[in-house]
């Protein structure tokens, strides 16, 4: 029952200018721009992996072998879930069927997000096999960085600094204690059981 990233964010939590200012790089110098841009993306992805959360608008695909029994819910990982884009399933006769949006409800406030059958209904019967149910959804705080909580952005800046200043090796003694930097993310982390 994997969750696969279909499309990644098209923006980053820091602009190149913001990152260069944080790194105290000259704005007119461009020789490290490509490196800094790639490190911004790496730092964002590291934050997302640590948090098990999506920061900027990203499309995900959740697959199941079948719908849950008795109208149970489906967990949509990497919250915040913004929308469910489509739900397709392999019916018992082998036909790939698009489920009407009126047949399900999203609880976007739950973390992870919860997809439930519409009130008074149950999930349709499926052929039981890997990937029989495919749920495509969009998650993140939004398309722009200004919606991401400040502590997460600050962690990304610290990670960016560590990556930039220690690009030849892993830092044995980071500038800030890792407990402090990682503690910035604790409030926003999706803790698994």
Q: How far apart are CA 126 and CA 93, in angstroms?
A: 8
- The predicted pLDDT at position 168 comes to 61
Predicted local confidence at residue 166, as pLDDT: 79
Q: Does domain 3-55+144-188 have CATH number 1.10.10?
A: no
**Helices (DSSP H) in 32-171: which residue ranges?**
33-51, 150-165
How high is the pLDDT of residue 193?
Answer: 46
d(CA 120, CA 86): 20
Q: What pLDDT is recorded for position 27?
A: 76
What pTM value is reported for the model? 0.83
Q: Which residues pair with 116 in a beta bridge?
A: 105
Are the C-beta atoms of residues 157 and 14 closer than 8 Å to each other? yes
Residues of the chain with pLDDT under 50: 193
Q: Are 78 and 48 in contact (CB under 8 A)?
A: yes
Instruction: Report the C-alpha gap between 28 and 105 in whole angstroms.
Output: 51
8 A C-beta contact, residue 27 and residue 15:
no
What are the structure tokens assigned to 170, written together? 């892993």
pLDDT of residue 44: 95
The string over 52-74, giving b where at least 16 C-beta atoms fall within 10 Å of a residue's C-beta and e elsewhere, is: bbbbbbbbbbbbbebbbeeeebb
pLDDT the model gives residue 2: 74
Rounded to whole angstroms, the Cα distance separating 103 from 22 reads 48
Question: What sign does the CA torsion over 85, 1, 99, 123 have?
Answer: negative
Nearest alpha-carbon partner for 190 in 50, 4, 3, 5: 50
pLDDT tens across 94-141, in order?
A: 899 999 999 999 998 899 999 999 998 999 999 889 999 999 999 999
């Amino acid at each position: 029952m994997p969750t696969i990233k279909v499309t990644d964010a098209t923006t980053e939590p820091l602009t190149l200018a913001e990152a260069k200012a944080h790194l105290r790089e000259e704005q007119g110098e461009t020789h490290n721009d490509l490196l800094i841009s790639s490190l911004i993306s790496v730092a964002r992805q590291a934050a997302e992996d640590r948090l098990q959360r999506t920061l900027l608008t990203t499309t995900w695909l959740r697959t199941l072998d079948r719908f849950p029994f008795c109208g149970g819910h489906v967990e949509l990982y990497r919250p915040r879930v913004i929308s469910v884009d489509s739900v397709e399933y392999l019916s018992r006769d082998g036909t790939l069927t698009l489920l009407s949006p009126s047949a399900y409800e999203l609880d976007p406030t739950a973390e992870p997000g919860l997809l439930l059958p519409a009130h008074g209904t149950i999930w349709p019967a499926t052929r039981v096999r890997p990937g029989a149910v495919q749920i495509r959804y969009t998650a993140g705080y939004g398309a722009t960085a200004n919606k991401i909580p400040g502590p997460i952005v600050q962690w990304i800046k610290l990670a960016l600094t560590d990556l930039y200043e220690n690009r030849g090796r892993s830092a044995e003694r980071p500038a800030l204690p890792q407990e402090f930097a990682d503690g910035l993310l604790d409030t926003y982390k999706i803790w698994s059981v």
